[in-house]
Amino acid sequence: MSTQNEADHHPDSAPVHGTTDPIQILDADGAVLSNAELPELSDDDLVAMYEDIKLARRFDQRAISLQRQGRIATYAPMTGQEGAQVATGYALATQDWLLPTYREHAAKYVHGMDLASLLKPLCGLREGYAIPDDVHVMPEYIPIATQVPQATGMAWGKQLQGEADTAVLCHFGDGATSEGDFHEGLNFAGVFDVPAVFVCNNNQWAISVPREHQTASETIAQKAAAYGIEGVRVDGLDPLAVYAVTRAALQKAKNPADGERRPTLIEAVQYRYGAHTTADDPSAYREEDEAEDWRQKDPLDRMRNFLTNNGLLDDDLEAEIDERIDAQLSEAIESVEAATTDPTTMFDHVYDELPPRLREQRAELESLREKYGDEAFHEVLE
Amino acid sequence: MSSTSPDESRTAGDSQAGSAAETMNLVEAVRHALHTEMGRDERVMVLGEDVAENGGVFRATEGLLESFGDERVVDTPLAESGIVGTAIGLAMTDMRPVAELQFMGFAYPAFDQLVSHAARMRSRSHGQYTVPMVVRAPYGGGIRAPEHHSESKEAFFVHEPGLKVVVPSTPADAKGLLIASIRDPDPVVFLEPKLVYRAFREDVPTDAYETPLGEATVKREGTDVTVYTWGAMVHPTLIAADNVADEDGIDVEVVDLRTLSPLDVETLVDSFEKTGRAVVVHEAPKTAGLGAEIAATIQEETLLHQEAPITRVAGYDVPMPLHELEDYYLPQALRIQEGIRETVSF
């Protein structure tokens, strides 16, 4: 990759990233484009990526169905966006940090979180935000764009502590680029030249507001120029292209060439096939057939075709994968639905040491439960 | 552009018997109020995230785009400071913006605009510039919403001189208070309890009436103890009042404050002077919540009538838990009854 300025000076060497057509490796049918170079991924990794994308899609279907049955609360679907999520997850090294939003279920899973943890907050259990020490994922960010300056800060901290081999990657959507925190986070990243990668999952819709009403900029990647950092546009439905671009950005973050700035803004151009969340009805604001064009470039289909064409996937393996995925999901759902939480856990971890007044409040709640039983709290008294 | 002078409006109390009414829930009453005011004053406009094409995530602005067009019903970029900042600018050009923040938990990026500018434009400019703006936000818990979607942080705004803060608890009040807020010359933060949005329906007059800001209402008359509350807590408080009447023979007065700033000190004090005992119920965390302000006001104004400590039944001093535990966090009739009994038996 090269910066926009370099590209201007060397028109033959690279396209002007940020304003051009998105970078692709696979065509819509999953064939490798003639001018593209495959990223260095083993056959096993390629198949594993496919399996994770398929798991993500199945996770989405199961979660939506659970929500409709009233077994989980509001869920933010990711169908159409799994390829980009899984690919950025594969690009991360174990020591790198991930700051996801509420939609990045697959990215979190790939970077080390277990499926049950992903489901817990949807069942109202805060325990799902308890991340194991060896998993470098932050609890999902629900307010919009607030993770952007924090990613810059974490990258800055890693740099100050001499962890030269660690970078920080954060996800956000096209809507987030309108928030002040997006500007402030990217500006700081440029000024302090921190090892951070900012991935905008541009799925074209911020709930009901289309990308072209979100910003008058031609692309989101071009906003990088304002911060003096590199902006790259990539086909977000092409997992191999997203992997290659993210991998290169992470490498540059850790080992920039002379004159290169560490941060990169990646615009992964994609589409949210479904609703913003299960609380939303997209037919109120967009044409249903709009998704069809995007489905022609579906990340799961493209990876399947790519693997099949290269002799890496056949029906037997596909069946094996499906069986594994269904077993994993059923086990996770079963364990989460069996999980309970104690009401007094709401007082845990509010402070390092619980202040006297909170101890009193916890005792008050305990005595009410003892006196009336838990059922009384859930009764709607009339 | 034309507008109706305040003299032409009238309060709900003036409503003529037999005037037209429609049965509505609270969210429909909000929509009806917006429609009414946009129809009578061309300066009134609605802006926010997903308010136009989508009609708002709670459908509070549904149909407004079709009625009033995309210059007056505006989908903005996703940026709360941008929404409130531009609304301030619009208000200063004599528009009457009604900005929507999608959830109160997402109001914080707009905080600087609200407290540093909307609240004090009048005082800084010695009355030269004013901000006749309404900022609406769905607020409160109890609907199994995701994290950050259930907060009750009214105290942040009540603490800021220059802002008015309004919380309706019924459809009829929602309409009248929103109309009054839109016509008010000062900035109003209008908090809509989403637990009540579709909880019940009642007759709402179809005319353009105002429910005056700064006036509390007595929802239930009683002589033993006063419960002060607002928003979504009014309903469980009334249930608790009936229960302690049946079970303990306690006669509870319930005051719905409706406007949290400016506070209706007169109604607050009058009720306390009658009962001598008070419970304050709010879903916001207890510490530095409005309960503290109400208790202090009672002590300042009418200490010698006090017969018992003032009890606060409130959210605990913890981050709003996820939905599995929200029934334990939010004051329910159960906890309100406990508070009433404790106060009366002192």
The tens digit of pLDDT for each residue in B157-197 reads 999 999 999 999 999 999 999 999 999 999 999 999 999 99
Q: What is the mean pLDDT of residues B123-133?
A: 97
Chain A hits for B79, Cβ within 8 Å = 178-180
Chain B hits for A73, Cβ within 8 Å = 144-146, 323
Question: What is the rounded CA–CA span in Å between residue B322 and residue B256?
Answer: 27
**Residue A18 banded pLDDT, cuts 50, 70, 90:** low
Chain A hits for B236, Cβ within 8 Å = 381
Beta strands in A238-371 (DSSP E): 264-269
Residues A273-285: pLDDT tens digits? 999 999 999 999 9
Beta bridge partners of B24: B202
Beta bridge partners of A278: none
Helix (H) or strand (E) holding A341: none
Chain B hits for A181, Cβ within 8 Å = 109
The residue out of B210, B241, B259 marking a domain boundary is B210
The answer, for B297 touching chain A at a CB cutoff of 8 Å, is no
Question: What is the rounded CA–CA span in Å between residue A90 and residue A244?
Answer: 10
Same domain membership, residue B180 and residue B117: yes
Most B-contacting residue of A138, A148, A207 (CB-CB within 10 A), to test interface: A207
pLDDT score for A379: 78
Question: Where in chain A are the domains?
Answer: 4-338, 343-378
Q: What is the mean pLDDT of residues B93-111?
A: 97
Q: Is the pLDDT of residue A372 over 50?
A: yes
Q: Using DSSP bridges, classify how beta strands B278-285 and B188-193 pair: parallel, antiparallel or unpaired.
A: unpaired
Check: CB of residue B98 under 8 Å from CB of residue B46: yes
Chain B hits for A178, Cβ within 8 Å = 77-79, 82
pLDDT score for A381: 54
Residues A164-209: pLDDT tens digits? 999 999 999 999 999 999 999 999 999 999 999 999 999 999 999 9
Check: CB of residue A83 under 8 Å from CB of residue A239: yes
Check: CB of residue A211 under 8 Å from CB of residue A178: no
Check: CB of residue B168 under 8 Å from CB of residue B32: no
Same domain membership, residue B262 and residue B172: no
Using CB atoms, pick whichever of B50, B149, B323 lies closest to residue A207: B50
Question: What is the rounded CA–CA span in Å between residue A156 and residue A253?
Answer: 11
Q: Report the domain count for chain B.
A: 2
**Residue B128 banded pLDDT, cuts 50, 70, 90:** very high
- Active-site residue, A9 included: no
Whole-model pTM: value is 0.94
Check: CB of residue A321 under 8 Å from CB of residue A51: yes
Same domain membership, residue B265 and residue B186: no
Write down the catalytic residue from A233, A272, A273, A302. Answer: A272
Same domain membership, residue B157 and residue B176: yes
Question: What is the rounded CA–CA span in Å between residue A135 and residue B286?
Answer: 36
Q: Is the pLDDT of residue B296 over 70?
A: yes
Q: Is the pLDDT of residue B28 over 70?
A: yes
- The CATH number for B244's domain is 3.40.50.920
Using CB atoms, pick whichever of A124, A180, A341 lies closest to residue B109: A180
Using CB atoms, pick whichever of A343, A350, A372 lies closest to residue B325: A343
> In Å, what is the CA distance from A126 to each residue of A276, A294, A339, B185, B206?
22, 35, 11, 43, 44
For residue B161, what are its two tokens? 């001189």
Same domain membership, residue B197 and residue B121: yes
- Between A290 and A358, the higher pLDDT residue: A358
Beta strands in A328-376 (DSSP E): none
Judge: B328–A343 Cβ closer than 8 Å, yes or no.
yes
Check: CB of residue B27 under 8 Å from CB of residue B197: yes
Residues A141-153: pLDDT tens digits? 999 999 999 999 9
**Residue A288 banded pLDDT, cuts 50, 70, 90:** confident
Chain A hits for B323, Cβ within 8 Å = 73, 124
- The CATH number for B151's domain is 3.40.50.970
Nearest to B299 by CA among B284, B278, B282, B283: B278
Residues B214-237: pLDDT tens digits? 999 999 999 999 999 999 999 999
Using CB atoms, pick whichever of B57, B76, B329 lies closest to residue A346: B329
Same domain membership, residue B169 and residue B232: no
Helix (H) or strand (E) holding A233: strand A230-235
Q: What is the mean pLDDT of residues A126-132?
A: 93
- The reply to whether B123 falls in a domain is yes
Give the ipTM.
0.92
Q: Find, in chain B, the residue whose alpha carbon is nearest to that of A279.
A: B57
> In Å, what is the CA distance from A230 to each residue of A72, A184, A196, A214, A227?
40, 16, 11, 21, 9
| CATH topology classification for A4-338 | Rossmann fold (3.40.50)
Question: Using N-to-C axis directions, what is the helix angle for B333-344 and A356-372, rounded to 10°?
Answer: 100
pLDDT score for A7: 38
pLDDT score for B14: 44
Q: Is the pLDDT of residue A10 over 60?
A: no
Same domain membership, residue B226 and residue B166: no
Judge: A368–B145 Cβ closer than 8 Å, yes or no.
no
Using CB atoms, pick whichever of A74, A178, A377 lies closest to residue B82: A178
- The reply to whether B134 falls in a domain is yes
Q: What percent of chain B has pLDDT over 70?
A: 95
The residue out of B172, B188, B210 marking a domain boundary is B210
Which residue range(s) make up the domain with B169? Answer: 6-210
Judge: A381–B53 Cβ closer than 8 Å, yes or no.
no
pLDDT score for A378: 87
Q: Find, in chain B, the residue whose alpha carbon is nearest to that of A128.
A: B322
- The reply to whether B1 falls in a domain is no
Same domain membership, residue B206 and residue B101: yes
Judge: A178–B78 Cβ closer than 8 Å, yes or no.
yes
